[in-house]
Amino acid sequence: MQEKTHIKLKKGRIRTGQFEGTLDDLYTSFLHFRMLAELASHIKPETSFESVLQDVLDDLNKYTGAERSLILIFDRSEEIVFQKGRNLDHDDIIEPSFEVSWSIINKTRETRAPICIKNALQGDEMKASNSVLRLNLLSVICVPIIHQENLIGVFYADNRNILGVFHENECGFVHQCVQFISNQLYSILHSIELKRDLERIQKVVFDRQNYGGILGNSPALVKILGLIDQVAKTDATVLIQGASGTGKELVARAVHQNSGRRDKQFVSLNCGALPDNLLESELFGHVRGAFTDAVQDKKGWFETADGGTIFFDEISEMSQALQVKLLRVLQSGEFSPVGSTELKRCYVRIVAATNVKLAQLVKKGKFREDLFYRLNIINIEIPALKERKEDILMLSMHFLSKYGRPDLTLDNETQKILLAYNYPGNVRQLENAMQRAAVLCRSDVVLPEHLPPDMQNQQMTKYFGAFAVEKKKIIKDFEIHYLRTALQKSHGNVAQAARDAGLDAKNFYQKMQRYNISAAAFKKR
């Protein structure tokens, strides 16, 4: 009989500190606690989940005495999308799904219940299985992996040399261990499904040739695309409102490209970037001698873009004097070049954008009310990136491809950081982060270390908080089980239970009170 190296027995008894007694439940509880602690120690933000999974499988092989073990993950169509296998020698198993009993795996998938078999060759149900006979299986364990009540995979382990190596209590605990990392396993599945969705949605979006870099499938973005479709066919003035970096100019260009003006010019002007006198000259043009440097006549953008679209970015920065002149163009289509009394006409569509609420500026007297109503015919509100998190990972992959690294994938911890971050700089900040990752990443996986420090720091704070909560829960569960087991063995005698557990009686009683454990429940009747 192969001895499990991690168990040290001497005539079925163990001595630790002041406690001496049988191994049984107390020692099993200790092993379970230590195993969960080891699993928790592997899950670190800086470690790729491939490495974490490798360590987890090695630990489970050592703990159970399995010759080899395997984790399979299934997608929504029940196809295998990920697999990782390890043997007792800490080597990867090449194509592990071909070396297992599918009869046993399929039964676990059907019943969603753990299976623990001491001798698969003698069991009435399994001995007729071709895979069991072909692989000469003896001991087998197979447990489902459940995430939010959905079956996403199985953990499978076997031994072809030893009978009965897996015990019933180990089967249940292995099930607990696998569920302990179910969130990380689901992240792998989510990443794979995300890539598929990205390919599908990229095809849909880029098939719509006139939408450029607008990418995503969140309800908020789909609603905006639908609104663009409706608005573009008209000549209505459009006001786009949203925080900096949300992509207001992309939306403005999409309105133009999907309109009947697409063959005419699209002009983008930042009202906050030009001095008032220069902006007026840029818009309306000027005649020779209108000011010192006006050595010749010059056409303005209203005249040049006749029949097209002019986009006023940050229109809230426009002076009151220019607001009056813009209002005149909107009302009559007429304007005069700087230094001239000649009236000219134009047929230009106006699209304006701002990162502040114009209605609030109107109340404060900082923006003309009549111009606001002229601009606010169609209002498009662009949500912040934190309000459309369904698009974050898809946009990340798009930007990596844009900056020359379509080969890169996102590590599971990296995905968590990207999804948890609040993005005060919105899509522009995400793009900058992915450009940084494309430059720094020297492998094929974007790790947390490739992200900007502020993103890493936010996730580290959340990680250690979550880890502390999980650690506290593990200790609580262990102490409750430890106390109840000691009381059960002493038949409710608290003093005896405390001695057996190697604890001071007062300390033991305080722990009983903390967890609301009554000694009377364990007394003989």
pLDDT score for 505: 82
Same domain, 280 and 156: no
pLDDT score for 7: 39
Same domain, 169 and 227: no
Q: Which residue has the higher pLDDT, 430 or 15?
A: 430
Same domain, 366 and 227: yes
pLDDT score for 9: 41
The top-scoring range by mean pLDDT among 15-24, 34-43, 261-270 is: 261-270
Same domain, 348 and 227: yes
pLDDT at 494 over 90: no
Any domain includes 107: yes
pLDDT at 24 over 60: no
pLDDT at 443 over 70: yes
Same domain, 242 and 371: yes
pLDDT band of residue 165 (cuts 50, 70, 90) is: low
Torsion angle of C-alpha atoms 377, 378, 384, 389, degrees rounded to 10? 160
pLDDT score for 99: 63
Q: Work out the angle between the directed axes of helices 392-402 and 412-420 (0-180°, nearest 10).
A: 110
Of residues 146, 145, 353, 327, the one with CA closest to residue 245: 353
For residue 356, what are the domain limits? Answer: 219-385
Range list of H helices, 9-80: 24-42, 49-64
Triad 154, 160, 166: Cα angle to 5°? 60
End residue of a domain, out of 358, 385, 412: 385
pLDDT score for 358: 92
pLDDT at 240 over 90: yes
| Cα gap 287→71, rounded to integer Å | 76
pLDDT band of residue 59 (cuts 50, 70, 90) is: confident
pLDDT score for 1: 39
pLDDT at 41 over 80: no
Torsion angle of C-alpha atoms 352, 356, 361, 364, degrees rounded to 10? -170
Any domain includes 154: yes
pLDDT score for 18: 42
Any domain includes 373: yes
pLDDT score for 11: 46
pLDDT band of residue 503 (cuts 50, 70, 90) is: confident
Total structural domains within the chain: 2
| Cα gap 129→132, rounded to integer Å | 5
Same domain, 342 and 230: yes
Least confident of 326-340, 425-439, 467-481: 467-481
Least confident of 12-16, 252-256, 281-285: 12-16
Same domain, 165 and 250: no
pLDDT at 267 over 80: yes
Same domain, 343 and 287: yes
End residue of a domain, out of 385, 407, 441: 385
pLDDT band of residue 377 (cuts 50, 70, 90) is: very high
pLDDT score for 107: 87
Contacts with 337 (C-beta within 8 Å, 6 or more apart), sequence order = 284, 285, 286, 287, 290, 297, 298, 300, 344
Any domain includes 175: yes
The residue-averaged pLDDT of 179-208 equals: 66
CATH number at residue 366: 3.40.50.300
Same domain, 161 and 274: no
Same domain, 116 and 49: yes
Any domain includes 244: yes
pTM > 0.95: yes or no: no
pLDDT score for 178: 76
Q: Which residue has the higher pLDDT, 48 or 520?
A: 520
pLDDT score for 408: 87
Percentage of residues in the chain with pLDDT exceeding 70? 76
pLDDT at 4 over 50: no
CATH number at residue 48: 3.30.450.40
Triad 180, 484, 181: Cα angle to 5°? 0
Least confident of 118-122, 229-233, 321-325, 454-458: 118-122
pLDDT at 162 over 80: no
Q: Which residue has the higher pLDDT, 254 or 473?
A: 254
Same domain, 266 and 120: no
The residue-averaged pLDDT of 351-366 equals: 93
pLDDT band of residue 140 (cuts 50, 70, 90) is: confident
Any domain includes 71: yes
pLDDT score for 5: 37
CA distances from 166 to 33, 57, 64 (A): 18, 15, 6
Same domain, 166 and 239: no
End residue of a domain, out of 369, 385, 401: 385
In the block, tokens 């198993």 appear at 93
Any domain includes 159: yes
Any domain includes 323: yes
Residue 140 DSSP SS3: strand
